[in-house]
Amino acid sequence: MDLILATGNSHKRDEFQAILPDYRILTPHDLGTSFNCEETGESFCENSLIKAAFLHTHAGGRPVIADDSGLCVRALEGAPGVRSARYGEEEGKSLSSKEKYELLLKNLKGITDREAAFVCSLVLYINEYRYFIFQESCRGLIAEGPMGSGGFGYDPVFLIPETGKTMAELSEEEKNRISHRGRAGAALRNFLHSHGAELGVV
């Protein structure tokens, strides 16, 4: 069974494929279309629903999954939050992942409160009247500097105290077990095992 993921990010597609091995995860690119949806929501949940509904209209009514994820830093009043992927754009240009986490570290310079959480709001979208939301988080600290070469985005500076490692230092298996996206994906996987046949997602 195919599930169409509302993203143009190949790293995210690979993560969901590992989390949902019983399904073939396709992206809009695999369907021969691009995915360019304006995220105007004020919460992760709103944005994931916007993306899911947008893609559903371009996917022939097939089941769609969409997530909106980001990093919330307590000392920055929850920033970058829903703007995690667009962090720093207000300075006039798009930033690379490395430039984004370097800006984050700059904005936290001299601040001792490093508490943060990755948040993932994941939607299984059947149609406009039937969809299911799974929201999870992973709590940690912002490191003083980047460590590790795995993962993507803010992973190199997100330290998980119980492991003593950043997200970028974890194996794929470790990350999928404890990350925000891994936890939301596991909840979706369990839901599909119980209700997939009823929903026609088998």
Residues annotated as catalytic are 68
* Contact present, 158 and 118 (Cβ < 8 Å): yes
Q: Which residue has the tokens 């990755």?
A: 118
Q: What are phi and psi of 34, to 5 degrees?
A: -95, 165
Q: What are phi and psi of 21, to 5 degrees?
A: -65, -15
- Rounded distance between C-alpha atoms, residue 74 and residue 141, angstroms: 10
* Contact present, 47 and 39 (Cβ < 8 Å): yes
Residue (of 47, 80, 92, 89) closest to 154 by Cα position: 80
Beta bridge partners of 136: 120
Strands 2-5 and 64-73: parallel
